Amino acid sequence: ISLLIPCPTGFKKTPNTVSQDCKSATLQLAIKGCSFECYKEIEAKRCCPGYWGQDCIECPEHASMPCNNNGVCSDGMGGNGTCSCKFCNTIHCLFLFLSSFHNFVLVCTCVHGLCNAGVRGDGICTCFSGYKGPNCDQELPECAALSCPENSRCMEEALTGKLVCRCKTGYQMSGTECISINPCLQSICHPHATCVHTGPNKHLCTCAEGYSGDGRVCMGIDPCQTNHGGCSALSTRCVYDGPGKFHCECLAGFDNLERGVSCSLKEACKPDSCHKNANCTTVAPERVESVIFYLSAEKHSSCMAPSRIILAI
């Protein structure tokens, strides 16, 4: 399968990941369960567990027991440091939840920082780099002098401690501006798919008409594989013309394709197919029925039961 559909640009095939059900590696691409995995090596900044945001700030309470172990912290580079309380139905747990909620509403007024809230919190703001003041709403003069462009913020470099402008998550520097990262420019979707840039470093891959898949891998649809493509199985065969395309053809012994999906039984009777005193009727492809009527010798010359003979042409 990997010989027919390569990994997306920039990705490599993961060794020993071809599925067990894939019995052919070159021909039977559409076998159910036939798949393999790809990977891409990238270097990216990541926060340790229990830390969040571009500054990797510690989650409330403590990184080792965020949210006082009574909730889940939204950590990681894309997190916002908020706690989502776990489900609880005890009075003690409910008290902790209400106390934390009370302190959060009345005490936390940090604009660009993290408030030390919660049951054990003191309401003091820890400002993000580039801001100061009790509510972290005052930009440092050094940052103001940088005049950071839109979609960026003033940050302190971890190694040098120098204040610099850094694009926000999902944006990248282009000249003097921070523009939204467009994954579609990296040919991340399959060649038979369309890529739509939906937001900063976000995209949506959609397979083109006639193809199916997740957009990263799109396979041509063979309509003949489903319900014979809508062609009558009794009088036609389905012919695959390409992804999502097909047509019906009459089987031998049939003609006059009707509505593109069914055919009529082709007349097989010929002048010499049956006896001159017999009726010839086509009953199947290349098969006729010969019916001969015999007259009785009685007075009224009534007809006797006919004699039927099936002939193959």
Q: Residue 46: is its pLDDT beyond 90?
A: no
Q: What's residue 179's pLDDT? A: 94
User: DSSP class of residue 303?
Assistant: B
pLDDT, tens only, 194-242: 999 999 999 999 999 999 989 988 988 999 988 889 999 889 999 999 9
Q: What kind and span of H or E run contains 95?
A: helix 91-107
pLDDT over 90 for what percent of the chain?
19
Judge residue 57's burial from the number of C-beta atoms within 10 Å of its C-beta, 0-12 exposed, 13-18 middle, 19 or more buried.
buried
Q: Residue 36: is its pLDDT beyond 50?
A: yes
For 223-265, the fitting CATH number among 3.10.20, 3.40.50, 2.10.25, 1.10.3470 is: 2.10.25
Do the beta carbons of residue 103 and residue 123 sit within 8 Å? yes
User: What is the average pLDDT across 9-30?
Assistant: 61
Q: Return the minimum-mean-pLDDT range out of 21-25, 114-118, 240-244, 257-261.
A: 21-25
pLDDT, tens only, 180-205: 999 999 888 999 999 999 999 999 99
Q: Residue 310: is its pLDDT beyond 90?
A: no
Q: pLDDT-based confidence at 84, cuts 50/70/90?
A: confident
pTM tops 0.85, yes or no: no
Same CATH topology for 185-217 and 223-265: the answer is: yes
Domains of the chain, residue spans? 1-43, 51-180, 185-217, 223-265, 278-312
- Which residue type does 182 have? N
- Decide: helix, strand or coil at residue 93: helix
Q: What angle do CA 45, 50, 55 make, to 5 degrees?
A: 45
Q: What kind and span of H or E run contains 237?
A: strand 236-242
Do the beta carbons of residue 246 and residue 239 sit within 8 Å? yes
Query: What is the Cα 221 distance to its own chain's centre?
Result: 16
Which tokens is 157 given? Answer: 């470099």
Which tokens is 215 given? Answer: 């957009």
Q: What's residue 286's pLDDT? A: 78
Q: What's residue 301's pLDDT? A: 40
What size, in residues, is the chain? 313
Do the beta carbons of residue 131 and residue 137 sit within 8 Å? yes
Do the beta carbons of residue 81 and residue 72 sit within 8 Å? no
Q: Residue 271: is its pLDDT beyond 50?
A: yes
Chain-wide mean pLDDT for the chain?
A: 77
Nearest to 144 by CA among 161, 163, 128: 163
Indicate the CATH number for domain 185-217: 2.10.25
- Decide: helix, strand or coil at residue 169: coil
As a whole number of angstroms, the distance between CA 126 and CA 73 comes to 17
Nearest to 139 by CA among 122, 160, 153: 153
- Which residue type does 249 have? E
Q: Return the minimum-mean-pLDDT range out of 79-93, 160-174, 242-256, 299-313.
A: 299-313
